[in-house]
Structure 1
Amino acid sequence: MREETIFDMTSPSRDSFRITGYRFGEGAKTLAIVGAMRGDEVQQQYICAQLVNRLALIEQHNGISEGKSILVIPSCNPFSMNVSSRFWAMDNTDINRMFPGYSAGETTQRIAAAVFETLTGFQYGIQLASYYVPGNFIPHVRMLKTGYEDVDTARLFGMRYVTVYKPRPFDTTLLNYNWQLWGTKAFSIYAGKTSRIDQTAGGETVDAILRMMSRTDIITTGSAGAAYESVVVDEAVFHHVKARRAGIFIRLVDVGDRVHPGQSLAHIIHPYNGQILNDIKATTEGTVFFAHNRPVVLQNALLFKLHIRD
């Protein structure tokens, strides 16, 4: 294992801002793994830290295939994590919306440019990502439909779901999108939680990444953990359930639960008198794929995504 500095920027009031990477193996740029891009992505950084630990042991036992190299960047935004800010603390910009970056631009553009220069040229790329709406997911692999997406390789992770979705205009500045355009087979992994550590989901995600590495001959050790025959889903078919009222959110089901028509999924409670303002019921049978996880919701907020074709 070799530690290196991907980006370094001095600070007038505290230690320098540094992005640190860990390299394993020798040879072709085979796989890059990126963790926390935002300051609340604790689960994502935790998973990358576990991967660094596991890969160090694998390398000690000569388990990395000859002629192949792996890069892991656990965090691209330690400043924001230090002050508990999801986005860049100085101007609230999102590093993951700045790719491929601009080396002479604003701070987050320069960070993105340095990171992307390092990541360009890898055969495979994995980002531990989080959703723009707060909530929990069934852990899964997600890909943008750019024409370069690789569903067959995504199945090799052995996760329960592989989802694809059509990019919107503002998605063209994501790392995943630009990685694909520059010739890397890119995958985003959603590991259940964001701002809280879920060790079970984290362990399953580490196993899934190592399984993919084994199945693509990046490492020589056997596949880790039990695998699923992944269900491939276009996100356009998900059934969205939204809040009809604002208030305190009391969730009655969890991700992975099977629900049926008429079943109560959640209650929205009046914040002053405790009355139920909205008894949110399922209108179809399906599996809870995504669930909002904040205690207060606004009217028309996305609360659940249901997969109705299991």
Structure 2
Amino acid sequence: MREEILFEMKSPYRDSFKIKGFWFGEGEKTVAIVGAMRGDEIQQQYICARLVESLKDIERRGLLADDVSVLIIPSCNPFSMNVSHRFWAMDNTDINRMFPGYDKGETTQRIAAAIFEVLKNFKFGMQLASFYMPGDFVPHIRMLQTGFEDVEDAKLFGLPYVTTRKPLPFDTTLLNYNWQIWETKAFSIYAGQTNYVENATSAQTIDAILRFLQKVGVTSFKFRNAGYESIILDEGDLINVTARRAGIFYRLVGASATVEEGQALAKILDPYDASILDTVKAPVSGTVFFAHNKPLVLEHAMIYRIQEN
């Protein structure tokens, strides 16, 4: 393993801002794995840290292929994580909306440019991503339909779902989109949560990435868990459930649950007397793909997404 400072920026108030990368192998640029891009993506950084630990052991045991190199970047935004702020703390901009970056632009544009200069030309790219709304997911691979997406390779992770969607204009500044435009096979991995670390979805995601590395020949590590036969779906086919009232969100059903049409999913309570303002019911039978996980909910906010049977 080789540790490298990929980008450094001096700070007048505290230690320098540094983005660290961990290299494994000495061959061509094969796989890049990027963790926390935002300050609340703790699970994403944790998963990358565990992968660094695993690949150190794999490399030490001589199970890494001779002609490959793997780069892991656990965090691209340690400043924001230090102050518990999701976006760049100084101006609230999102690094993951700045790609491919501009090395003479604003701070987050410069950070994105430095990161992307390193990440270009890898054969495979993985980003441990988070959703813009708080909630729990069924772990899955998400792909933008740019013409360069490879659904068959996405199935090699063995996660329950692979989702695709057409990119919107503002998606053109995402790392995933730009990776694909530069002809890297890019996968956004949604591990289930954001602010948690040691749980079943973290372990499932780590297993999925190691399984993928074995199946594409990066490692000869014997991984006997075959995972799932991934279901391919377009995100537009998911059934959205929105809140009809605002209040305290009392969840009855979480992500991955199988539900029947008309089943109670949650209750929305009055914050002053705990009376039931609304009972949220499943509009269809299927699997809960996404579930809101914060204690409060606003009217018209999305609280569930269901994959219909």
User: Shorter-chain TM-score: what band?
Assistant: over 0.9
CA contact (8 A) 1:192 1:198 kept: no
Q: Aligned equivalents of 1:198 and 1:247: distance in 2?
A: 30
Q: Aligned equivalents of 2:263 and 2:200: distance in 1?
A: 28
Query: In the alignment, which residue of structure 2 is the partner of 1:64?
Result: 64
Query: In the alignment, which residue of structure 2 is the partner of 1:237?
Result: 237
**RMSD value, Cα:** 0.8
Q: Aligned equivalents of 1:226 and 1:138: distance in 2?
A: 18
How big is the shift at 1:225? Answer: 3.0
Map Cα deviations across residues 79-115 of structure 1 (whole Å, 9 max, x no partner).
Answer: 0000000000000000000000000000000000000
Give unmatched runs, 5+ long, in structure 1: none
Query: In the alignment, which residue of structure 2 is the partner of 1:287?
Result: 287
Q: Aligned equivalents of 1:261 and 1:201: distance in 2?
A: 26
Q: Using the TM superposition, name which of 198-207 and 286-295 deviates more.
A: 198-207
Letter of the aligned partner of 1:47 in structure 2? Answer: I
Q: Does 1:102 align with 2:99?
A: no
Give unmatched runs, 5+ long, in structure 2: none
Alpha-carbon distance change, 30 to 72 in structure 1, aligned in 2, over 3 angstroms: same
TM-score by length of 2: 0.99
Letter of the aligned partner of 2:176 in structure 1? Answer: N
Query: In the alignment, which residue of structure 2 is the partner of 1:133?
Result: 133
Q: Aligned equivalents of 2:198 and 2:54: distance in 1?
A: 18
3-state SS in 1 of match to 2:35: strand
Q: Does 1:22 align with 2:50?
A: no
Map Cα deviations across residues 51-97 of structure 1 (whole Å, 9 max, x no partner).
Answer: 00000000001111111000000000000000000000000000000
Query: In the alignment, which residue of structure 2 is the partner of 1:207?
Result: 207
CA contact (8 A) 1:207 1:224 kept: no
Q: Aligned equivalents of 1:237 and 1:183: distance in 2?
A: 27
Q: Aligned equivalents of 1:307 and 1:160: distance in 2?
A: 12
- 1:208-287 alignment to 2 at 5 Å? 208-223=208-223, 225-287=225-287
Q: Using the TM superposition, name which of 218-227 and 124-133 deviates more.
A: 218-227
Map Cα deviations across residues 130-181 of structure 1 (whole Å, 9 max, x no partner).
Answer: 0001100011111011111000100000111111111111111000000000
Letter of the aligned partner of 1:42 in structure 2? Answer: I
Q: Does 1:42 align with 2:42?
A: yes
Q: Aligned equivalents of 2:123 and 2:129: distance in 1?
A: 19
3-state SS in 2 of match to 1:293: coil
3-state SS in 2 of match to 1:34: strand
Aligned-pair identity in percent equals 60
How big is the shift at 1:226? Answer: 4.1
TM-score by length of 1: 0.98
Q: Aligned equivalents of 1:45 and 1:106: distance in 2?
A: 25
Q: Does 1:11 align with 2:11?
A: yes
Alpha-carbon distance change, 224 to 173 in structure 1, aligned in 2, over 3 angstroms: farther
Q: Post-superposition, which runs of at least 4 consecutive aligned residues in structure 1 deviate over 4 A? A: none
Query: In the alignment, which residue of structure 1 is the partner of 2:79?
Result: 79
How big is the shift at 1:224? Answer: 5.2
3-state SS in 2 of match to 1:70: strand
Alpha-carbon distance change, 86 to 232 in structure 1, aligned in 2, over 3 angstroms: same
- 1:192-203 alignment to 2 at 5 Å? 192-203=192-203
Q: Aligned equivalents of 1:229 and 1:198: distance in 2?
A: 25
Q: Using the TM superposition, name which of 272-281 and 18-27 deviates more.
A: 272-281
Query: In the alignment, which residue of structure 1 is the partner of 2:115?
Result: 115
Q: Aligned equivalents of 1:67 and 1:284: distance in 2?
A: 50
Query: In the alignment, which residue of structure 2 is the partner of 1:180?
Result: 180
Q: Aligned equivalents of 1:169 and 1:40: distance in 2?
A: 25
CA contact (8 A) 1:251 1:266 kept: yes
Letter of the aligned partner of 2:145 in structure 1? Answer: K
CA contact (8 A) 1:215 1:223 kept: no
3-state SS in 2 of match to 1:156: helix
- 1:140-155 alignment to 2 at 5 Å? 140-155=140-155
CA contact (8 A) 1:129 1:190 kept: yes
How big is the shift at 1:223? Answer: 2.4
3-state SS in 1 of match to 2:221: coil
Letter of the aligned partner of 2:213 in structure 1? Answer: M
Alpha-carbon distance change, 14 to 224 in structure 1, aligned in 2, over 3 angstroms: farther
Letter of the aligned partner of 2:264 in structure 1? Answer: S
Letter of the aligned partner of 2:129 in structure 1? Answer: A
Letter of the aligned partner of 1:117 in structure 2? Answer: E
Q: Aligned equivalents of 1:170 and 1:271: distance in 2?
A: 36
